[in-house]
Structure 1
Amino acid sequence: MESVFLKSLEENIDKEFTLDMLLAALPEGKSTFEKRLSAALDELFIVAKEELNNMRVEHLEENDRTLTWIHEVKTPLTSMKLMIDTVENSKVKKKLEVEWLRVHLLLDQQLHHTRLPSLEKDYLIEPINFDKIIPAEIKELQAWCMQKGIGFEIDLSKEEVLTDQKWLSFIVRQILSNAVKYSKENGEIQVFSQMDSSKHTILNIQDFGIGISSADLPRIFEKSFTGTTGRETIASTGMGLYLAKNAADKLGIDITVDSRVDNGSIFSLKFPLKNEMTRISGR
C-alpha cells in the first residue's frame, strides 16, 4: 500500500509546477527512507535548476551572437545592392537583383526567428491600415515579380486593424514571397480585405499557382516542412510559414489557408477585435 508520502509526491509531480514550486511542495517525509528520498530529490532538483539556468544563459548568448552576425552581414549586403544598381547589362542586373533578394529574405527570416521568443516584449500595438504595409512589401519583391512576370490586383478596405506594424509586415512578407515563389510565369496575385459577419477584418492573399495537396495542407505551418506537391525542384527552407504562424498567434491573428493542386492558394489573416486584442495584450 502506498504511503502518504509517495501519494503526495506523485500528486505534486503530476501538476504543472516549476522547479521552484516542486522544491517547495516536496513532502519532508517521516521515516528514514522518506527523508533520504526527499533529500535526494531536493539535490536533483537543485542540480536541474542550475543546468536549466546555464542553458538559458547560453541560449541568450547564442541569440546575441546571431543578432550581431546578422547586423554585420547587412553591411556588405547593402554594399552589394549599391554595386548591383551600377550594372549596365539589364539581364545580368535582373538576375543579380533576384539572387540578392533571396539572400536578403533568408537573412530577414533568421533575424525574426531569433527575435520571435521575445516578441511580446518587442511589439507595439497600434491602429494600422493595410495601405501602409502591402505596397511596401510588394515593392520589396519587385525584382522577383518582374523576373516571373507576376502582376498584382489590390483591393483594400480603409478599416484599420490593431496590431504591430513591424511583425505584421514580416507575416505578410512570408505569405507574399510564398505566393510569388509558387505562382506560374506571368501569373497574378490578388490581395484584398473584407469584413466577416462578426466585424473581424480579414486580409486575403491569393495566388493561382501550383497549389498545395490535401495531404500537405495540415502540415504547412510546421517547422521545416517543405511539402511534396511540385516543391522538389524549388528551393525552400520550410521556415517562412512556420515563423509567420507563430508570430500571428502571438498577435492574436488567425491564419487559415485554402488550396487545391494547380488552382493556387488563398491565405487569410483574421484580425482580433479591440476587446479581443486587449485580452491578448494582457496575457
Structure 2
Amino acid sequence: MLLLFVRERFAWIGFFIFTLIILNVLFSLDVGLNGVSIWYVNVSLLVCFILFFWCRYVIEVGKLKDFLGNMDSHLDDAHRNSLALSPFQEVYFRKMEDAFFEKNLELNQAKVQIQEHSDELLAWVHEVKAPLTAINLMFEHIEDLQLRRKLENEWLRLHLLVDQQLHQTRLYAIEKDNYLNEIELKPIIYKEIRAMQAWCLEKGIGFEIGELTEMVMTDGKWLAFIIRQILSNAIKYSPVNSEITIFTEHDSSGATLLHIKDIGRGIPLDDLPRIFQKSYTGTAGRESSQSTGMGLYLASNVAHKIGIRINVQSKVGEGSLFTLRFPLQNEYAKLTGR
C-alpha cells in the first residue's frame, strides 16, 4: 500500500526535489545568503516534507479503508461527514458509490434471470420424465425381443441425458439439497447396474462385484449420480463381451475406497489431466458423437461438494480404474461445518 501511495505521488516528490534544487542554486548565487547553512535548510525542509507525506498517507489510507469497508451500500450522510472528505474527494466518492449501486442492481437482475431460467429448465426436465416413464412401461407389450432391446437401449441413452441435465440444474444448489448420513454401498450399486441392464445385454457386458458390505458417510442420491456417470462411461468404452469389476478396500488412513475397473480402450496420458473439465471429450469424443464431456465434469463437482475424492488410473488398451474415496468421520464433521 505504501509503495502504491508513493508511486501515485511522484508529482509531489518531483516538485519537492525541483524546489530543493532551485533553493540550492539561489544559495550558491546570492552572496547575501553565504552566512546561512544550506545543509541545515535542506535537512529541515526534507524532515518537514517527510512528516507531511506520512500524515497524508495515514489520513488517506484510513479514509480508503473506511470507504471500502462500506462499499456494498450507499454511505449515509452521517458516515460521509465522519470521513471529512474534501469537495474534490466527495465527487469521486459519489461517482464510485453510483457505479457500485448500478453494478449491484445489474448483478441482482442477472441472478434473478438465472434463477428463473434454472426453474424453467427444471420444470421442463420433470415434464420430460413423465412420458419417458410411460414409454418404459410400454416396452413390456412389445413381443419382438430384438426390437424391444434396441428401443430400451435408446430409451436408456435419452433417460441418462435427461437425468444428467436434471442434476446439472440442481448442482448449484446442492448445499440445500444434500443429506449426508451412513449408508450401505451395495444397494446403490446394484440399483444402478439394473438400470443399465438393457445396454449391458446389448454389448454382452457382465459384472464381477465384491461383497460391498461397507457403510460410508455420504449422500445416497448424489452418490448414485456419480456412480451412474462412471458406469455409463465404463459400459460405453468397454469392448463387447467384457467384464466390469467393482470392489472395495481401505487405505492407510482407514477410509473406504470404491473401485470401478473396466478393460476398455483406456484414456490417453494427455487426456487424463483434463477429463474432469467441462465439455472436454478428449480423443474418444472425436471418434464418437455421443460424448458430451459433461458426465465426469458433473461427477467431479458433485464429489467435491459431498467430500468424495475421485482418482483415475488408466492406460491406453488396458482400461481404466476409477476410485472413490469416502470421507472419514472427522472429515465428515469438517464438511458439514463449512
TM-score by length of 1: 0.92
Deviation at 1:12, TM superposition (A): 8.9
Q: Which has the larger radius of gyration?
A: 2
- 1:220-256 alpha-carbon deviations (Å, 9 max, x no partner): 0000110114752251111010000000000110001
2:149 — aligned with what? 94
1:147 paired with 2:202, answer yes
Query: What does residue range 247-262 of structure 1 map to in structure 2 within 5 Å?
Result: 247-262=302-317
1:11 is displaced (CA, Å) by 7.1
**1:129-168 Cα shifts (integer Å, max 9, x gaps):** 1112110000011000000000000013422110000000
Structure 1 residue 87: Cα displacement: 1.2
Count of aligned residue pairs for this structure pair: 281
Aligned position for 2:238? 183
Match of 1:20 in 2: 72
Give distance in 2, aligned partners of 1:217 and 1:9: 50
2:165 pairs with 1:119: no
Deviation at 1:7, TM superposition (A): 5.3
- CA deviations 1:186-228 (Å, max 9, x no partner) are 1110000000111010001010000000000000000011011
Aligned to 2:219: 164
Corresponding residue SS for 2:105? helix
3-state SS of 1:108 partner: helix
- Percent identity reads 49
**Alpha-carbon displacement from aligned partner over 1:23-76 (angstroms, at most 9, x marks no partner):** 799995733332111110100101111111111111111111011101111111
Q: Per-residue deviation at 1:85?
A: 2.3
Q: Is the 8 A contact 2:63 2:83 kept in 1?
A: no
Please identify, of 221-230 and 197-206, the stretch whose mean Cα deviation from structure 2 is larger. Answer: 221-230
Rounded Cα–Cα distance in structure 2 between residues aligned with 1:143 and 1:182: 16
What secondary structure does 1:228 align onto?
helix
The letter of the residue matching 2:127 is E
- What are structure 2's unaligned runs of at least 5 residues? 1-5, 10-56
- Mapping for residues 223-238 of structure 1, pairs under 5 Å: 223-229=278-284, 231-238=286-293
Kept in 1: contact 2:74–2:97 (CA 8 A): no
| 2: CA distance, partners of 1:210 / 1:259 | 9
Larger relative contact order (Cα-Cα within 8 Å, sequence gap ≥ 6):
1
3-state SS of paired residue (1:61): helix
Letter paired with 1:59: I
**SS in structure 2 of the partner of residue 215 of structure 1:** coil
Matched, 1:78 2:133: yes
Write the letter of the residue equivalent to 1:66. L
Distance (whole Å) between structure 1 residues aligned to residue 285 and residue 98 of structure 2: 54
Q: Distance in 2 between matches of 1:157 and 1:198?
A: 19
Question: What is the CA–CA distance in structure 2 between the aligned matches of 1:257 and 1:141, rounded to whole Å?
Answer: 22
Kindly indicate which of the two structures has a greater share of residues assigned to helix: 2
Q: Equivalent residue of 2:260, what SS?
A: strand
Offset at 1:84?
2.3
Q: What residue number does 2:22 align with?
A: none
Please tell me the residue identity of whatever aligns with 2:232. Answer: S
Is the contact between residue 285 and residue 291 of structure 2 (CA under 8 Å) also seen in structure 1? no
**Partner secondary structure for residue 183 of structure 2:** strand
For 2:66 and 2:262, the matched residues in 1 are separated by 52
Partners of 1:12 and 1:22 within 8 A in 2? no
Higher alpha-carbon deviation: 223-232 or 42-51: 223-232
